[in-house]
Chain A
Amino acid sequence: MKLIRPCVLATALLLPVPGLAQDAAKPLPPAAGEVILTVAGQLPTTHPGEEIPLDRAFLDTLPHRELVTSTSVTDGKHHFEGFLMRDLLERLGTGGDTAVAIALNDYIVEIPVRDFHDYDVVVATHMDGQQLTRRDKGPLWIVYPRDDHTELQDIRYDYRWVWQLRRLEIQ
């Protein structure tokens, strides 16, 4: 894993934007491992009416991203690792204005897709070097760069920090 990640990052950096678009047009390989995130809603024509099940192997191919920030429910600053939500959506080639995020406990919240372009919203897989588990806030936690933008230090953004994310519906 540690060996693969820099290679993926390098590939992503070398690839021009049209390359990404071509990737989006290609049908995704079927998920071989355990599905940890399902994306549904406005999908590109290559996946008409389908849901896209995603496993950890696929998510690991997205550009790696790190973020240090505090949260509203923990003490101190934490080091998060994962990928950008907008990278995921671009990779899948989704449209839509709103992403409905659903957690394992059926917590459901609508997030404007604009958030992912205005801010570097990370979908964290690791916190402080540890992989997030279901018993904590894993496997996926939507993390906003709260410390970099004062407007994000607001209860109206706090409820968008969905942890135990399992499903995204793009509308």
Chain B
Amino acid sequence: MPGLRRFPAYLVTSLAILAFTAFLAFALIRLFQVEKDMRDNVDENMLWVVTQAQVASHRLDQAVNRRALGDTDEDPELRLDILSSRLTLMDDGPQRRYLAARGLEAPLNTALDHLDALRTSVEDTATAERFRPQAMAPHLDGLMTRLNRIANAVMMAEWESTGARLDTYRSSLMQVIGSVVGITLSGLGLMLLLIHALRQRRIAQRALTAHRDQLEVEVARHISRYKTTADALARALNRERGVSEFYRSFAAMVSHQFRTPLAVIDSGLQRLQRRAPPFTAEQRSERYQRLRNAVAQMTRLVESSLTAARLDGQQVEARPACHSLAAIVDHLCRLQTEASGIDRLTTRHASPEVLAWCDRALTEQVLANLISNGLKYSPASHCVHVTTAREGNQAICRVLDNGPGIPHAEQDRLFERFFRGNNASGTDGIGLGLNIARHLARIQQGDLEVSSNTGEGTTFTLRLPAADTDQEEISDVRD
């Protein structure tokens, strides 16, 4: 199909070029012919040549007669020479051919014969009376008659030739005009073909560009698909690593931290088994309580270890929504007070209430850890203060205690796993809580910081992304 379509296009173009060239060549040839013809002008000179010969013959006649009448100024010798030269000229190649072509060879030959006769009559005569009018008259008459005939015929031939030449010029010019029209038309055709070709090329270029763009999009799409797959694979691999890390950490934790409470429980149970010395009900109750504490510690340990291991394995995911930070704090404080039976917590909330973009369960876990730490590491007579506020685009919750404070050197390491400060040596704990809390804050796009001066107390600051009221709706839509 494309071959068929292309063929006529080339054919038309070739024809147009051919026509253009042919018309141009024809016009040029015709113009050159006219130009050459205009230069060939022998016949235009011929009438002058013949007329001059006539004049020369008359001048000779006149000179001969006047000399006979005694006019010595006349020079028949010169006049005869001039007449001879005029006839010699007519006898020369181009002139003779011209006359012969018009059937005037016979009168020319006769005229030349008369000239010869004139010369002979002059040369045969004695010097004194060389130019005798009576002897010369018949030859001069014959010569003049022939020259007159020739002049007459040449005049008509010239007019005929001029007329014919004008006809030829007119016809040639008409042909040239026709050719120019042809040149114009074929040129116009070529121009249209050119415009058409240019337009086709532009369309083709546009199509090519579009195709290239589409290809690029396609390639990009493929690449992004491969990238997505690769990312998914990387994530899957990470998750797999996380899972194995989770098991490894959990195993290490269990072996390291669980022995002590298990030993406590075991020795307590052994004593109870031996029943000696016999315990009072009060003593028994106290020992049971100790055992329960050990179990509770273990439970906490297991929970913390699980959380830490899940964090390591990237198994914990935050599902943020818009929550009131004050509501979370109040809820936690109430629970804490109910559990311990002692009210050591004070709260202060900024107005309007601070909204945070966070996962409620994770935030509760962080704050519960901070509050229980505050209560644990400050004297029983002192309160722990919890405040909420908004700073820029962050929702802030601070937990302040009046405990012994943490030395600056230890503050940097405070969030490391299994790190326990010097002040904490008297209390139970394994150094996981703050590490987990910071992790949980960070996976919610927040952070956890500490500032403390020894002897003045410690302040933990939880920073979370602030939420605006209208974001609540967005979170609902997302869920």
Contacts and interface: CB of A to CB of B under 8 A. Distances in A.
Contacts of B272: none
B78 A104 contact: yes
A105 B82 contact: yes
Interface stretch (A14-22, A58-66, A115-123, A130-138): A130-138
A75 B85 contact: no
Given A134-B78, A135-B85, A75 B94 contact: yes
B44 to A, nearest CB: 8
Nearest to B93: A75
Contacts of A105: 52, 55-56, 59, 82, 86
A153 B40 CA distance: 10
B257 interface: no
Contacts of A107: 52
A153 B35 CA distance: 14
A80 interface: no
A73 B81 contact: no
Interface string A132-171: 0111110000000000000001110010000110000000
Interface string B80-98: 0110111011001111000
A163 B94 contact: no
A134 B81 contact: yes
B41 interface: yes
B442 to A, nearest CB: 102
Contact of B92 (A74, A133, A134, A158): A74
Given A105-B55, A105-B56, A155-B41, A73 B89 contact: yes
A81 to B, nearest CB: 19
Contacts of A74: 92-94
Interface residues of B, number: 21
Interface residues of A, number: 19
B92 A135 contact: no
Given A104-B78, A105-B55, A134 B93 contact: no
Contact of B94 (A73, A104, A155): A73
User: Main secondary structure on chain B at its contact with chain A?
Assistant: helix
A134 B85 contact: yes
Contact of A136 (B59, B85, B93, B94): B85
B95 A164 contact: no
Interface in B113-166: none
A164 B89 CA distance: 12
Nearest to B77: A134
Contacts of A72: 42, 45, 94
Interface string B35-78: 00001011011000000100110010000000000000000001
Contacts of B89: 73, 137
Contacts of B82: 104-105, 134, 164
Interface in A92-135: 104-105, 107, 133-135
Nearest to B42: A72
Contacts of A154: 39
Nearest to A155: B41
B95 A73 contact: yes
B88 A136 contact: yes
Nearest to A159: B45
Interface centre among A73, A153, A155 (most CB of B within 10 A): A73
A135 B93 contact: no
Contacts of A155: 41, 44-45
Interface centre among B41, B42, B59, B82 (most CB of A within 10 A): B82
Contacts of A137: 85, 89
27 contacts: A72-B42, A72-B45, A72-B94, A73-B92, A74-B93, A74-B94, A75-B92, A75-B94, A76-B93, A104-B78, A104-B81, A105-B52, A105-B55, A105-B56, A105-B59, A105-B82, A105-B86, A133-B81, A134-B81, A134-B82, A134-B84, A134-B85, A135-B84, A135-B88, A136-B88, A155-B44, A164-B85
Nearest first, the 3 closest Cβ-Cβ pairs linking A and B are A75-B93, A134-B81, A135-B84
Interface of B: 39, 41-42, 44-45, 52, 55-56, 59, 78, 81-82, 84-86, 88-89, 92-95
Interface of A: 72-76, 104-105, 107, 133-137, 153-155, 158, 163-164
